[in-house]
Amino acid sequence: MKLRDRIVLSQSSVLGLGYLPRAPGTWGTLGAIPIWWAIADLHWGVAVGIITAIVLYSLWVSCAAEKIYGEHDVGKIVIDEVAGMLVTIIAVPFRAPQQNMWVTDGVFPLRKPGRKTKT
């Protein structure tokens, strides 16, 4: 595998979070927290610019990773979860209580209607 492909797969899985078992998308949302912390004190215009760049980059990386995997909507690709989370929390200050949003956005979807789960 080429170095470029390894980099694409690493970034599309958010440094491997997409490879974790059970609900890789939920794990992928954790990748947004350090970015959120890093941009929390920036001017809102700068933060919007960074998040926009992340969204555009995630589109490119996701498409490139799908070509490498040879299939569509691969569960290991979770960079879109990071981009989506950042768009969702763009105007929310970084404080400990808001970190609970990961639970509501990332964990509650595990119980989707019609999904068979092991008990």
pLDDT digits (tens, 9 = 90+) for 33-62: 889 888 888 888 999 999 999 999 999 999
**Entry pTM:** 0.75
- CA 85 to CA 108: how far, in whole Å? 14
Residue type, 109: P
Packing angle of the helix pair 32-39, 79-88 (nearest 10 deg): 40
- CA 55 to CA 116: how far, in whole Å? 31
CB atoms near residue 59 (< 10 Å): 13
Two structure tokens written together for 67: 């070509």
What secondary structure letter does DSSP report for 14? T
**pLDDT (0 to 100) of residue 119:** 43
Two structure tokens written together for 83: 């981009």
